[in-house]
Structure 1
């Protein structure tokens, strides 16, 4: 006799070895999906500027339209409801609500998120609001951006605006998404906006973003009753390329810049020892207390390990290394290591002792492997295999004691993937970027089945 299908979300979670209140969700970010970059009073961001630079985006594209979520958000909520997720992690576009980053607000921009939040709640989907997902208003970058200590105050004022406007309906807040990515790639390795390569700029950005995080936590705590506040970190185990001794020091420094310089000061109250002397000139009395503010959870974005090698031509003397060729998935283009995901979850749990939500995990595919066939079916079997293996690894971590409380797939939609443009598709939903047409991929059906307890992953 077949095993009966669990009937309630709590039963399903228990059958999977998870908490009864486990959260299943999907994630996006404003710049990657909204489009409408020059509509209804939105100001330019540093990524709008980046898209205009020759070579700024690999395929020469931009996010002017992206997924047109600004106009198609009703359809996208209907897709979330069809998949069956209980939560949607999205970001507010800072330049949409404050076109110059500070000062005069944009009522039309605020109204957009009112409509989105209200419709999510009506659909039974909990809004998880991220304040910053890389789209700094260009007007603030012109004033120094994150290299200016004033940026912590700019962010606090922006956080207050969002808290006052939406805190009656939104209770789940993240201050930042992937601190290490936008600081390292924006200020030391020129793969992202604003594209600076300067040690001092990188160090100032690290410290000022940490100060902004702390200020944001305090603002949210003061203004939103019963707020659940966290921060989202992209954490990847860093390994020396080829396991070679000459790459070990490079891996240690990259590990500190990638995994340590935000989690440690925000949660433990200090910078990693290997970078303390570098950051010390920018730290004023009382700063560490301003940064280390109590939070309720930690968000983990994870895709796989990073490989480092010595490269004396770069800002910090390390470069991105190559993964073992044998481990690289032919469709995805990067190594697939579910066991490393489990290891990272357990490391995070043991070091920081906070509840964990996986706020991004997912699988990219080339444009040719993620398109509808003649029957309109997107058979993304590689993504199903990835999600199956990684959610199993996640449950294995829980079985070993990890306090894991939710999982969000990146991404709901194929979207603008920053420096790679539209060349890589991560969505559970295929987007035709010419017409805007949405098509649920087979992976969306697989995820729906996991959420409903129709299979065990």
Structure 2
């Protein structure tokens, strides 16, 4: 494959989430989040790990941002902790929380790093979960008010916003499958939660745009995977289409076009959730850009026992996988980008997350020679370039993630960072992948020479 040159002004950044890196979980007036509660519940997180300290970004952000600048990154995705800013999710604002994020943003701007800020990356205030959580449609209005507070406070500095990170994940995994906070197991509540989130998304987009500080761009980072049928049968192919609509479009079609995709075998979402008059007008608030978070593809087959979507997921077998067990399938990224480009023409696209978990640690020489990660990133970014050559308007790539961090239910067992973090000493070591990514960020030139 020929070398790929990315255009001047293309964003090269990393992505992160507040709970996964900050620590300071009960400091300076921060309220309890559902992840604070979940991680302190026995048996929920591997090895009993918590995000109480995590990467201690709360105290070490200046050094970490300096390191980002040293590596030549020109953008960074961060998320805000709702309970750090509004301890019980509504009402009084915690000024110390807002000041913390002002310091982060100011530090980034001082080092020529463009801040891309996500309003919500899964750490719901526990007080709002106690009031019903995302299935309670009142949360949409509380979230709108939170968005307005943040936009007024930070919008003079922050011009690029993401409303949500992966709404499908925190609703379905949190309220149906129970593997993420708050750990509930109720499919009906999970689907109700998706509608509240869609309402909240529409309201928050408007709150950002109507603030005294006018943003340049508002979007959301959606979890996405191209969906492949296990076999060529009509049943499997139609199952794959239903799963694509549910997994990839359930939050995208509503905000862009004001409608839910038809994903159920029988009936519609209206048969399962109360959708009130005017709801879909609120939900529709076309985004300025679409963020794609992608790690691998999905393989599905028809499932006659599933009376909702009629789908079962099939694990890939026999191929290359990461330490998380996820299939390495680079062409998934170009396929998904081109799918979005075709379905939503004229809308800029950003790869807002992509990365891999490999557990390589420091060797005898103190260096972290993580060549598998270098190979992974190189091949996936090459697919971004291929999609751009076919006309997709991709304007940036945010690698997941900067430092190894608290990986949700996996605790500290999965390492996605290009900077190694010793969670006991908080020592940082730039991995070989970090040095490689630095060269790419500075040059914008991908010399395709995969290391396997």
Partner SS, residue 359 of structure 1: strand
| Partner residue in 2 for 1:12 | none
Given the alignment of the two structures, is residue 302 of structure 1 paired with residue 291 of structure 2, yes or no? no
| Partner residue in 1 for 2:141 | 153
Compute the displacement of 1:203 (Å). 1.4
Given the alignment of the two structures, is residue 277 of structure 1 paired with residue 268 of structure 2, yes or no? yes
Query: In 2 relative to 1, CA 288–315 (structure 1 residues): closer, same or farther, beyond 3 Å?
Result: closer
Query: In 2 relative to 1, CA 244–323 (structure 1 residues): closer, same or farther, beyond 3 Å?
Result: farther
Partner SS, residue 231 of structure 1: strand
Match of 1:234 among 219, 223, 233: 223
Q: Which structure has the highest helix share of the two?
A: 1
1:292-441 map, 5 Å: 292-308=284-300, 310=303, 312=305, 318-324=311-317, 326-329=318-321, 331=323, 333-353=325-345, 354-366=347-359, 370-441=360-431
The Cα offsets for residues 348-394 of structure 1, whole Å up to 9 and x where unpaired, read as 1111121001010111113xxx2111111000000100111011111
Determine the C-alpha separation between the residues in 2 that align with 1:188 and 1:244.
29
Determine the C-alpha separation between the residues in 2 that align with 1:57 and 1:317.
30
The answer as to whether partners of 1:342 and 1:396 remain within 8 angstroms in 2 is: yes
Of the structure 1 ranges 261-270 and 302-311, higher mean CA displacement relative to structure 2 is found in: 302-311
Determine the C-alpha separation between the residues in 1 that align with 2:313 and 2:59.
38
Compute the displacement of 1:127 (Å). 0.8
Compute the displacement of 1:255 (Å). 2.9
Partner SS, residue 50 of structure 1: helix
Determine the C-alpha separation between the residues in 2 that align with 1:208 and 1:424.
31
The Cα offsets for residues 304-328 of structure 1, whole Å up to 9 and x where unpaired, read as 112345495898665543112x223
| Partner residue in 1 for 2:253 | 264
Query: In 2 relative to 1, CA 162–76 (structure 1 residues): closer, same or farther, beyond 3 Å?
Result: same
Partner SS, residue 115 of structure 1: helix
Compute the displacement of 1:243 (Å). 6.5
The answer as to whether partners of 1:203 and 1:279 remain within 8 angstroms in 2 is: no
Determine the C-alpha separation between the residues in 2 that align with 1:19 and 1:268.
31
**Unmatched tracts of structure 1, length 5 or more:** 1-14
Determine the C-alpha separation between the residues in 2 that align with 1:285 and 1:357.
33
Query: In 2 relative to 1, CA 75–204 (structure 1 residues): closer, same or farther, beyond 3 Å?
Result: same
The answer as to whether partners of 2:4 and 2:382 remain within 8 angstroms in 1 is: no
The answer as to whether partners of 1:220 and 1:227 remain within 8 angstroms in 2 is: no
Of the structure 1 ranges 146-155 and 190-199, higher mean CA displacement relative to structure 2 is found in: 190-199
1:157-236 map, 5 Å: 157-223=145-211, 224-236=213-225
The answer as to whether partners of 1:100 and 1:140 remain within 8 angstroms in 2 is: yes
The Cα offsets for residues 261-280 of structure 1, whole Å up to 9 and x where unpaired, read as 11111112211122461345
Determine the C-alpha separation between the residues in 1 that align with 2:106 and 2:84.
18
Compute the displacement of 1:233 (Å). 0.4
Match of 1:90 among 67, 78, 85: 78
Compute the displacement of 1:41 (Å). 1.0
**Unmatched tracts of structure 2, length 5 or more:** 448-452
| Partner residue in 1 for 2:40 | 52
Compute the displacement of 1:18 (Å). 3.2
The answer as to whether partners of 1:268 and 1:352 remain within 8 angstroms in 2 is: no
Aligned-pair Cα RMSD in Å: 2.1
Given the alignment of the two structures, is residue 34 of structure 1 paired with residue 27 of structure 2, yes or no? no
| Partner residue in 2 for 1:287 | 279
- Normalization by structure 2: what TM-score? 0.92
The answer as to whether partners of 2:334 and 2:383 remain within 8 angstroms in 1 is: yes
- Normalization by structure 1: what TM-score? 0.91
